[in-house]
């Protein structure tokens, strides 16, 4: 008999009833050190007092109003996003997938308004942009698309980080190039800064729009507010979600005025997108994470965690191959199935997340403490010890 919850997930036998910072407390009272953070969502930890205050204060006033009216909290969030990024404008969504859908629509509409027949969007293997029919067509992975055809046309996947393939594929018929500066689900695979600069250059030469998906790598995760800042370039359109809500469902599409030119009244909308509750939380998250002093701490902690992980790799050469990633978006490339390590981690009371390319993902809350970083690596060391041959 089918479970009452549609069985699309293979779930661990764990449930949590409370959270405190980097700790998730299971229904049996066991405290788990949470290095998954709801897959890069709980960027400021569980039950963060600032976010609880922002949410409850707003909850006592007004939860939902339609986008038929002005929503001051939404305007404040858009102001902050514009102030701290390349963007001139923002549309607030409830998720990363919704942001991906709008980013694709925006790029198509841009060329439609120019009366140019450019619909092809170049994407990359290993990408993840969400689970809608459009987003799975964009990523094109066999596992995600199988059985859901016919797929939305207009996407072409290129090998990840293959600049020769991109040079050969891009032309003045290309509508856009869409990618994650650091692939998350794909296995914490960062693109080299010079490659991102080259992609920007190729887009400029051909007129193609550059769409960056910073749903996972954005919002301070890599130690910059957005990962593309390392390369010193800016996109035309960018998707944001996950960390921006700190656990409340929230996303956004940011765009330049030029790229957003086609998105006129009536061209897009959302019932819940930009509601006061979500935006009140998003504003508080942005105020905390966009602070340069906060980002400097993410970098310092990222370096500390990385250094300890290098030691872990050296002590378990049969289990781990290398460390990769930036800031607090780190991956351990494994020599064994990362799912086995996730399970061994449960036994040591630490939560981690597997990813493709045999990678174990470590995405702690950005405000994890130094002591907790030390404790996390000690637990990972014991988890690996359980699997050492």
Where do contacts with ligand PLP occur on this chain (CB under 6 A)?
A: 95-97, 100, 128-130, 180, 184-185, 213, 215-216, 241-242
Q: Which is nearer to ligand PLP, 180 or 372 (CB)?
A: 180
Classify residue 133 by burial, with Cβ atoms within 10 Å: 0-12, 13-18, 19+. Answer: middle
Cis amide bond preceding 150, omega within 30: yes
Q: Which is nearer to ligand PLP, 211 or 383 (CB)?
A: 211
359 is in an annotated binding site: no
Phi, psi of 189 (to 5 degrees): -115, 100
Q: Which is nearer to ligand PLP, 132 or 171 (CB)?
A: 132
Q: Which is nearer to ligand PLP, 219 or 377 (CB)?
A: 219
Q: Which is nearer to ligand PLP, 138 or 170 (CB)?
A: 138
* Lookup: tokens for 331: 């991956």
User: Which residue in the shown chain puts its C-beta closest to ligand PLP?
Assistant: 96
- Closest-CA residue to 16 (of 58, 46, 59, 60): 46
CB-based contacts of 122: which residues, under 8 Å, 6+ apart? Answer: 155, 156, 158, 166, 169, 170, 174, 176, 177, 178, 208
Q: How far is the CB of 295 from ligand PLP (least distance, A)?
A: 20
Q: Which is nearer to ligand PLP, 329 or 336 (CB)?
A: 329
Q: How far is the CB of 218 from ligand PLP (least distance, A)?
A: 9
96 is in an annotated binding site: yes
- Closest-CA residue to 190 (of 222, 237, 144): 222
Q: How far is the CB of 6 from ligand PLP (least distance, A)?
A: 16
Q: How far is the CB of 205 from ligand PLP (least distance, A)?
A: 26
223 is in an annotated binding site: no
Q: How far is the CB of 98 from ligand PLP (least distance, A)?
A: 7
| Angle (deg, nearest 10), helices 338-347 and 370-387 | 110
214 is in an annotated binding site: yes
Three-state DSSP at 105 gives helix
131 is in an annotated binding site: yes
270 is in an annotated binding site: yes
Q: How is residue 152 annotated by DSSP?
A: P
**How many Å separate Cα 332 from the centre of its chain?**
18
74 is in an annotated binding site: no
Residue 268, CA distances (Å) to 93, 99, 109, 246, 274 in order? 11, 12, 11, 25, 13
Q: How far is the CB of 365 from ligand PLP (least distance, A)?
A: 17
Question: What residue has token string 């969400």?
Answer: 130
Q: Which is nearer to ligand PLP, 94 or 367 (CB)?
A: 94
281 is in an annotated binding site: no
Give DSSP secondary structure letters for 343-361: HHHHHTTEE-EEETTTEEE
Q: How far is the CB of 212 from ligand PLP (least distance, A)?
A: 10
226 is in an annotated binding site: no
Phi, psi of 125 (to 5 degrees): -60, 145
- Binding residues for N(2)-acetyl-L-ornithine are 131, 270
Binding residues for pyridoxal 5'-phosphate: 96-97, 128, 213-216, 271
Residues of each annotated binding site = 96-97, 128, 131, 213-216, 270-271
């Amino acid at each position: 008999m089918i479970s009452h919850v549609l069985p699309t997930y293979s779930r661990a036998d764990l449930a949590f009833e409370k959270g405190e910072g980097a700790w998730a407390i299971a229904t049996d009272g066991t405290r788990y050190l949470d290095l998954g953070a709801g897959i890069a969502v709980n960027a400021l930890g569980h039950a963060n007092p600032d976010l609880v205050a922002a949410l409850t204060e707003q909850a006592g006033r007004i939860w939902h109003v339609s986008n038929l009216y002005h929503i001051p909290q939404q305007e404040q969030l858009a102001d902050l996003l514009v102030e701290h990024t390349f963007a001139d404008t923002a549309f607030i969504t409830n998720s990363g997938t919704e942001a991906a859908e709008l980013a694709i629509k925006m790029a198509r509409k841009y060329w439609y308004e120019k009366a140019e027949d450019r619909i092809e969007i170049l994407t990359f293997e290993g990408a993840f942009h969400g689970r809608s029919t459009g987003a799975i067509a964009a990523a094109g992975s066999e596992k995600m698309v199988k059985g859901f055809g016919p797929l939305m046309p207009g996407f072409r996947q290129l090998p990840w980080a293959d600049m020769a393939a991109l040079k050969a594929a891009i032309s003045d018929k290309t509508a856009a190039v869409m990618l994650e500066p650091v692939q998350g689900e794909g296995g914490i695979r960062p693109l080299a800064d010079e490659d991102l600069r080259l992609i920007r250059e190729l887009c400029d030469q051909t007129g193609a729009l550059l769409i960056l998906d910073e749903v996972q790598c954005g919002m301070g995760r890599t130690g910059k507010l957005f990962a593309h800042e390392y390369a010193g370039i800016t996109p035309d359109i960018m998707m944001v979600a996950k960390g921006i809500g700190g656990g409340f469902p929230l996303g956004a599409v940011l765009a330049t005025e030029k790229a957003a030119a086609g998105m006129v009244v009536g061209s897009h909308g959302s019932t819940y997108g930009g509601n006061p509750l979500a935006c009140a939380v998003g504003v508080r998250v942005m105020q905390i994470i966009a602070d340069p002093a906060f980002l400097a701490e993410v970098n310092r902690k990222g370096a500390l965690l990385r250094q300890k992980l290098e030691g872990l790799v050296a002590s378990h050469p049969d289990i781990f191959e290398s460390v990769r990633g930036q800031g607090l978006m780190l991956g351990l490339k494994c020599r064994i199935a990362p799912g086995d390590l996730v399970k061994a981690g449960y036994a040591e009371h630490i939560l981690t997340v597997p990813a493709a390319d045999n990678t174990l993902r470590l995405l702690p809350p950005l405000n994890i403490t130094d002591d907790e970083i030390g404790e996390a690596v000690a637990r990972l060391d014991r988890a690996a010890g359980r699997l050492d041959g």
